[in-house]
Amino acid sequence: MHITQLNRECLLHLFSYLDKNSRKSLAKTCHKLLEVFQDPLLWSLLNFHSPAELKKDNFLLGPALKYLSICWYSERVKVCNIEDWMKNNFQKDFCSRHENTVSDFLLEVCNRCPNLLSLTLSGCGHVTDDCILILLKNCPNLMTLKLENCVRITDRTLEAVILYGRSLHTLHVDFCRNVTQTGLEKVREKCPLVMLRAERSASMIPDNKPEKKLMLEKASRKFAQL
């Protein structure tokens, strides 16, 4: 029996065992397999391992998407996690090449995947609070939000969770250095049913330009003298 003689359900099952590149390659062989590749039921889960993968034409975004993960563990992540005001020209040039890649992709998810249930972002150093805010508004069924080593995430994301995370059950903000203990306490107070984890986040040193840090130190000394 030729593979194209299998019914749609069997073909979908076979495709589900393939990675994104293999699915795309197989879809190029005939129209029937291309139709299977384009079936939304095949794309309820997407895993990406670098920003570059988001630009490939080997997957389908649609309302069927329930679980999304973008985890970048490359050594190059360290460059993105350096405070913007401390980056040299080479580092700034490197970051500029993909600075908006993840954010732009998440905006597409907001527009096309309203049934998203789970989002995991790790090492996505350019994702901002505004992006997470829009996603929470447009994906009201989101139950799990896991953010790890996302250095631009601040207490504004925690405030958005309180306002718009009505379905949220699990929230992780691990190694997000600009999240504060005050913000975490507000989430615990306003959303007691949310399973909150913030490994190392509130104990890390937040981003402060030298002049801001100096002003804070002066204000602290002045307060101590009163």
**What domains sit in the chain, N to C, each tagged with a CATH number?**
1-42 (1.20.1280), 44-219 (3.80.10)
Stretch among 89-103, 113-127, 154-168, 181-195 having the lowest mean pLDDT:
89-103
Per-residue pLDDT, 57: 92
Confidence of residue 221 (pLDDT cuts 50, 70, 90): low
pLDDT digits (tens, 9 = 90+) for 165-210: 999 999 999 999 999 999 999 999 999 999 999 998 887 667 666 6
Asked whether 214 and 188 are in contact (CB, 8 A), the reply is no
From the list 185, 183, 113, the residue with the least C-alpha distance to 153 is 183
Q: Mean pLDDT throughout 120-124?
A: 95
pTM for the full model? 0.84
pLDDT at 146 over 90: yes
From the list 159, 216, 168, the residue with the least C-alpha distance to 196 is 168
